[in-house]
């Protein structure tokens, strides 16, 4: 892939949960700021991991899609990194009273999202179509695209055996060491036509600071996805989810170590170079990882240092704006 700032008029993000949601929000803010200044406007599309999806209480739940959607809509609970701000829990409390297992908390307003999604899917509509309707109702300033409309379920092998991802991540609190990852249904899955078109038309593709193994790795495992990205004319820029030797959120650093690699920003770069050669053209590492940047320069992609920790709305916007100015300066 080669950079071509004039190719197309869209920015595409590959995202998992909260890290991907925050950068996507920053990009939405930066794109709006550009437009307000009279500069060319770029459409934003976010391709989201659905390997974490599950069924709860008979409802179809898509945790990463919902985190990205709520964050872009300005409704997310930034304290927890999931769910809605100012949520109430009456339904979950009543379910628990009835004896239901409520280890995965669903808030009252969040439940409405899952009800509408389930209704749409049971009516025979595609996840992509249902997601578009939900996002439109919440006035999301981007196109949200599930990585596939086909069911894929990520599982991890631990000393306790194979666990569905949410069992490992939420019910067991990520306490198990991950020894292997598999994805049920991945062989039959395919990128949607909407995903393929977004990748082909992109002016810039950004790999968000999401978990490389169970978020971005699952997106890239969809047959045909990696080939589409490698064939795209757009430059691919990736932001490391590991800063100063630790993941800012989630188990990415521990997974990297337990699966056989360095739990550092440089280790993340090595992982992508080894598993997806030629995919990433440029890496964005945090300024604290200058030594790591020097250690991986020989792997091929360029490396730039920026302040990547997004603690505030302004942090998100500044990081997104810096990436756009460096790689899509129109």
pLDDT-derived band at 36, boundaries 50, 70, 90: confident
Q: Alpha-carbon distance 76 to 87, whole Å?
A: 10
* pLDDT at position 29 over 90: yes
Q: Alpha-carbon distance 28 to 31, whole Å?
A: 5
The structural domains of the chain, with segments of one domain joined by +, span: 10-75+126-327
pLDDT-derived band at 14, boundaries 50, 70, 90: very high
As given in the structure block, the two tokens for residue 66 are 């919902």
- Tell me, what's the pLDDT at 2? 46
Q: Alpha-carbon distance 110 to 272, whole Å?
A: 34
**pLDDT tens digits along 280-301:** 999 999 999 999 998 888 888 8
**pLDDT tens digits along 64-83:** 999 999 999 999 998 888 89
Q: Which phi and psi angles does 182 have, rounded to 5°?
A: -140, 165
Count of positions (residues) in the chain: 330
**pLDDT tens digits along 151-206:** 999 999 999 999 999 999 999 999 999 999 999 999 999 999 999 999 999 999 99
Q: Alpha-carbon distance 111 to 114, whole Å?
A: 5
- Tell me, what's the pLDDT at 4? 44
Would you say 119 and 100 are in contact if contact means Cβ atoms under 8 Å apart? no
Would you say 272 and 296 are in contact if contact means Cβ atoms under 8 Å apart? no
Handedness of CA 130, 214, 106, 59 (dihedral sign): positive
* pLDDT at position 7 over 50: no
What is the share, in percent, of the chain residues with pLDDT greater than 70? Answer: 97
pLDDT-derived band at 1, boundaries 50, 70, 90: low
pLDDT-derived band at 6, boundaries 50, 70, 90: very low
* pLDDT at position 247 over 70: yes
* pLDDT at position 230 over 90: yes
Would you say 74 and 135 are in contact if contact means Cβ atoms under 8 Å apart? no
**pLDDT tens digits along 108-141:** 999 999 999 999 999 999 999 999 999 999 999 9
Q: Give the C-alpha distances (Å, rounded to integers) separating 168 from 67, 151, 152, 161, 175.
A: 18, 19, 16, 11, 8
CATH code of the domain occupying 10-75+126-327: 3.40.50.10680
Would you say 260 and 186 are in contact if contact means Cβ atoms under 8 Å apart? no
């Amino acid at each position: 892939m080669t950079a071509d700032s004039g190719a197309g008029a869209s920015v595409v993000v590959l995202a998992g949960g909260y890290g991907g949601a925050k950068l996507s929000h920053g990009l939405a803010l930066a794109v709006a700021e550009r437009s307000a200044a009279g500069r060319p406007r770029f459409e934003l599309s976010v391709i989201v991991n659905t390997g974490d999806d599950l069924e709860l209480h008979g409802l179809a739940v898509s945790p990463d899609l919902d985190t990205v959607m709520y964050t872009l809509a300005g409704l997310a609970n930034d304290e927890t990194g999931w769910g809605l701000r100012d949520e109430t829990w009456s339904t979950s409390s009543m379910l628990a009273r009835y004896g239901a297992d409520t280890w995965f908390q669903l808030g009252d307003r969040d439940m409405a999202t899952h009800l509408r999604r389930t209704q749409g899917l049971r009516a025979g509509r595609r996840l992509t179509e249902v997601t578009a309707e939900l996002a439109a109702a919440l006035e999301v300033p981007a196109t949200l695209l599930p990585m596939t409309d086909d069911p894929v379920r990520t599982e991890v092998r631990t000393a306790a055996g194979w666990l569905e991802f949410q069992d490992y991540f939420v019910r067991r609190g990520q306490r198990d060491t991950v020894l292997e990852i598999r994805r049920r249904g991945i062989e039959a899955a395919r990128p949607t036509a909407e995903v393929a078109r977004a990748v082909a038309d992109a002016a810039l593709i950004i790999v968000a600071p999401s978990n490389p193994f169970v978020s971005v790795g699952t997106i890239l495992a969809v047959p045909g996805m990696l080939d589409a990205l490698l064939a795209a004319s757009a430059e691919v820029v990736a932001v490391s989810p590991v800063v100063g030797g630790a993941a800012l959120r989630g188990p990415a650093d521990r997974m990297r170590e337990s699966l056989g690699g360095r739990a550092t920003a440089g280790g993340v770069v090595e992982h992508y170079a080894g598993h997806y050669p030629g995919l990433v053209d440029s890496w964005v590492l945090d300024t604290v990882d200058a030594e790591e940047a020097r250690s991986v320069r020989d792997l091929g992609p360029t490396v730039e240092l920026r302040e990547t920790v997004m603690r505030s709305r302004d942090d998100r916007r500044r990081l997104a704006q810096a990436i756009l100015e460096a790689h899509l300066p129109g």
